Structure 1
Amino acid sequence: MYAVDLHAHTRFFHGHRSLGDRFDPIGVRLLAWVTGRRGLHGFATTNHDYYTPFSSSVVTVLPGIEVTTTRGHLLVVGPDPPAETEPGELTPAEAVDLAHDRDCVAIVAHPFRNSTITELEDLAVDAIEINGKHPRTRPLVAEIADKRGLPLVGGSDAHYPFEAGRAYTLIDAEELTPESVVEAIRDDRVEARVVDGRFDQALRRGYREIHRRKHPEDILGKPTPGIGEPPGESDADNRDS
């Protein structure tokens, strides 16, 4: 059994591709250190709309990319993710086909934040994510997964290294490789886990405040369902005990 964070980013900023490409190797080393300290066996690099191969002597680094589709984000994880995608160009169906053509799995990322992908009932995704930033949406995500007969996986959605591992996936496999992860997800030999220590609770409170202050509705011409506070994420519902 392997513990893997299936949603992690090697940088904390978007754009500035040349600067980011120079920073990414540092980000990978920091993610490897944090996930190793957390007791995880690996993580997937799922940067926004690009993939760069990396490796680590500390933990296993799995190939992946977070594709910005016309209706939200899809994680593509496996042996051969696309090197680059154009944000907002692919439909969810096209992104799923791209993933499957490259022997990867397609996972719905943070389904209740800026996403309407789960409204597409016939979409052939392979799993749905419990996102480390919104673990209280788990019952809602689990309900969708149960109706679709899909497995749940966990990912931290870390943009800063210290966020890594706060949600992860237990993978039942004999070895940890991109191919074995794809096979395990498709066979539903996975289990989503969320870490709920005091540090992780503080991280989530901080994230909610930052997200609230961003006022994303001010910068989007047509906000998608899930904008702002996902279901169950209101201040009243999030007073940690």
Structure 2
Amino acid sequence: MFALDLHTHTRFFHGFHCRPTPYDPVGARLLGLVARRRGLDGLAFTNHDYYAPQSAGPVSHVPGIEVTTTRGHVLVVGPDPPTFTRPERLEPEAVVEMAHDRDCAAIIAHPYRNSTVREVDADFDAIEVNGKHPRTQSWVERLAGEYDLPLVGGSDAHYPFEVGRAFTRVDADELTPESVVDAIRGGDVEPVVGDFVTDRLVRKLYRQIHQQKEHLQRPAWLDTGGESDQPTPGVGSAPDED
């Protein structure tokens, strides 16, 4: 059994879209150091619309990319992700097909944040429980049940201290990109949400940011009966965070 954060970014600043920068190796090393401290075995570097091989230092590295499709973000992880994609040019279906052609897994990222990828009828391999707003986890679990897809966890870390606030337990005999893809497709994965003090504090911050930007969407079933009294993630405080 291995613990992997399947959604991380090697830099915290924007600009230089779709291409690596000299900072990326530094960011990758810092992510790896924090990952080891938090007991993780590996990371997937999933930068926005580009992939460049990097060393994760003391932990293993799984290649990946976060593709900005026409309807939201899709994670592509595995042995041979594309090195470059043009933001908002590819339909999610095309990204899934490309991922499978490259022996990679295609994962719906943060399905209820600034995305309608969850509504696409495509052969996805998994759905992500995102570490920035895990209060949507029950929504994501229901979505995964409807689609009969496994769940994975990823921190969506842009800063090293965010690594591991959500991660994936992978049941495999060895830790390779190929074995991770096989485990995802076989459902031999389990999402875990971290509960460090820093995790809770950062979640409060992101909750406010996403509320202000109106990036979080409610599932339709909340407004048509069935748990309609549940609060929208990003609004208010969780019971253990007051």
- Asked whether the 8 Å contact 2:133–2:234 carries over to 1, the reply is no
Q: State the AA in 1 paired with 2:213.
A: P
Mapped partners of 1:51, 1:34: distance in 2: 21
Partner of 1:112: 112
The count of aligned residue pairs is 229
Deviations 1:166-220 (A, max 9, x none): 00000000110000000000000000000113221111112223444xx436xxx
Indicate how the Cα distance of structure 1 residues 232 and 52 shifts in structure 2: closer, same or farther if over 3 A, else same.
same
Please state how far the C-alpha of 1:224 moved relative to its aligned partner. 8.7
Which runs of structure 2 are paired with 1:72-91 in the superposition (5 Å)? 72-91=72-91
Are the structure 2 counterparts of residues 17 and 67 from structure 1 closer, same or farther at C-alpha, using a change threshold of 3 Å?
A: closer
CA distance in 1, matches of 2:21, 2:238: 37
Q: Which amino acid in 2 is paired with 1:56?
A: A
1:113 offset after TM fit, Å? 0.3
Work out whether 1:216 is the aligned partner of 2:241: no
Q: Which runs of 5+ in 2 are unaligned?
A: 219-230
Change (3 A) 1:27 1:90: same
In structure 1, C-alpha distance between the alignment counterparts of 2:56 and 2:113, rounded to whole Å:
31
Against the structure 1 CA distance between its residues 187 and 56, is the aligned structure 2 distance closer, same or farther, given a 3 Å change threshold?
same
Aligned to 1:136: 135
* Counterpart contact for 2:112–2:216, Cα < 8 Å: no
Partner deviation per Cα, 1:47-84 (whole Å, 9 max, x = no partner): 00000011234000110000000000000000000000
User: How far did residue 17 of structure 1 move?
Assistant: 5.1
Answer with 8-17 or 154-163: which moved more: 8-17
Deviations 1:84-142 (A, max 9, x none): 0000000000010110010000000000001111112x211000000000101011000
> Helix, strand or coil: the match of 1:21?
coil
**Mind listing any 5+ residue stretches in structure 1 that lack a counterpart?**
218-222
* Equivalent residues in 2 for 1:59-98, closer than 5 Å: 59-98=59-98
Cα RMSD over matched residues?
1.9
Aligned to 2:202: 203
Query: Percent identity over the alignment?
Result: 57
SS in 1 for 2:22: helix
Q: TM-score, normalised by structure 2?
A: 0.89
